[in-house]
């Protein structure tokens, strides 16, 4: 078999790349080791930057997003017994975030690729990358071979693509945080119209949502937290303790339908390319989820790569492909910094250090009282503009 671009991984990055390439007349094959049911059912991030929403709509896969997504014009920072709204409509006019689950984006993209006759293969075994530093790279899987012009690794942090780059080529940067997030999905109406980021002496909590009937919550816990130690009653008690800190707010409880513990890390691999192999999304970088940047960075990556590949096929020039990593990493490191900043602003690091806690409170007070500081948060949260041409 032969295709122009072989894509490893059928998450949002791989599927969107395949769809954007299709719109440019470029063929691709997507290989995914998991089942379609798993890809469409895995609950992940759900906060879309303005640019991500615009990209999906412009690509013709945003109809359901526009109908069912929940646009928000602000978020609330809650600390010290009070809530403080960061008003996007005032600070960054014309920009919102939209709450729409990653699994819903995957469903939309799979449907679009299959409707267009795209080649997306699930439950593929033993994917391996070969000769990526030559002019004839290829993939093998399940006893078959797929020759490609280029290979793109969109298979996540634990995938096979990044390890296919020889040792010594990549420089990796990593930050492990001394806590994790206990994530909870509940069949209950959201208790607020917008996301609430709460900083308390007991740790961070986040009130989010996935739909008018489904709410999403997170609690800061220890990195080795045992999920079995968190029965539903304890989860609700702790959420109420951390979120019911302002007058008049009551947390609505209900049936919990999913729980999980997510480690907090920052990770970047440089460069994001080697020979004819390109990395996109979590295969190249991980951000702590506090800043809601993971999915949005993946979309930014594939926008840059689509333009570069289209330029290569149209003109024969590899100039944009050669600059792919450099172009992406500017945004990646800005998102790393913003995610680190949001994480350190809101989480409890050392309960025995009153000096550090007072500094944290002072910073929060500054962000919520200074329009300039609030605008910095707002413009990063809704997403910085794409570079010209991307």
> What is the set of active-site residues?
72, 197, 289, 293, 381
The two tokens of residue 226 are 């045992």
CB burial string 266-295: b at 16+ within 10 A, e below: bbbbbbbbbbbbbbbbbbbbbbbbbbbbbb
The two tokens of residue 13 are 């990055």
Question: Rg of the chain's alpha carbons, rounded to an integer?
Answer: 21
Of the candidates 6, 8, 39, the one whose C-alpha atom is nearest the C-alpha of residue 281 is 8
The Cα–Cα gap between 319 and 20 comes to: 20
CA 345 remoteness from chain centre: 20
Apex 311 CA angle, 334 and 51, nearest 5: 35
The Cα–Cα gap between 195 and 115 comes to: 35
The Cα–Cα gap between 306 and 126 comes to: 27
Position of tokens 């080697």? 274
Helices 294-315 & 324-346 angle (0-180, nearest 10)? 170
The Cα–Cα gap between 217 and 209 comes to: 8
The two tokens of residue 338 are 């913003």
Position of tokens 């500054």? 366
**Residue 61: beta bridge partners?**
none
**Residue 76: beta bridge partners?**
85, 196
């Amino acid at each position: 078999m032969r295709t122009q671009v072989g894509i490893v991984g059928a998450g949002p990055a791989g599927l969107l790349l395949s769809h954007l390439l299709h719109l440019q007349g470029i063929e691709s094959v997507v290989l995914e080791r998991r089942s379609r049911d798993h890809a469409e059912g895995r609950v992940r991030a759900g906060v879309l930057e303005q640019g991500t929403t615009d990209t999906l709509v412009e690509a013709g896969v945003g109809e359901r997003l526009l109908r069912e997504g929940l646009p928000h014009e602000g978020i609330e920072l809650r600390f010290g017994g009070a809530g403080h709204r960061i008003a996007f409509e005032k600070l960054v006019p014309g920009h919102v975030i939209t709450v729409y689950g990653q699994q819903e984006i995957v469903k939309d993209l799979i449907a679009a690729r299959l409707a267009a006759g795209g080649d997306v293969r699930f439950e593929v075994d033993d994917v391996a990358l070969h000769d990526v530093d030559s002019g004839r790279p290829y993939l093998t899987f399940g006893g078959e071979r797929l020759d490609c012009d280029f290979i793109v690794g969109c298979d996540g942090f634990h995938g096979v693509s990044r390890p296919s780059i020889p040792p010594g080529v990549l420089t990796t940067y990593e930050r492990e945080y001394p806590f994790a997030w206990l994530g909870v999905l509940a069949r209950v109406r959201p208790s607020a119209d917008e996301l609430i980021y709460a900083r308390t002496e007991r740790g961070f909590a986040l009130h989010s949502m996935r739909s008018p009937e489904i709410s999403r919550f997170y609690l800061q816990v220890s990195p080795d937290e045992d999920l079995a130690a968190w029965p539903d009653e304890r989860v609700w008690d702790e959420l109420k303790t951390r979120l019911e800190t302002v007058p008049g707010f009551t947390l609505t409880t209900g049936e919990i339908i999913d729980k999980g513990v997510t480690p907090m890390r920052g990770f970047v691999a440089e460069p994001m390319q080697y020979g004819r192999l390109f990395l996109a999304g979590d295969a190249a970088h991980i951000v702590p989820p506090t800043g809601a940047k993971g999915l949005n960075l993946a979309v930014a990556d594939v926008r840059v790569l689509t333009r570069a590949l289209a330029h290569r096929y149209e003109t024969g020039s590899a100039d944009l492909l050669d600059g792919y990593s450099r172009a992406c990493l500017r945004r990646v490191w800005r998102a790393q910094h913003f995610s680190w900043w949001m994480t350190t602003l809101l989480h409890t690091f050392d309960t025995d250090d009153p000096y550090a806690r007072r500094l944290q409170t002072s910073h929060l007070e500054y962000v919520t009282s200074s329009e300039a500081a609030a605008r910095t948060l707002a413009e990063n949260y809704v997403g910085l503009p794409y570079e010209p041409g991307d």
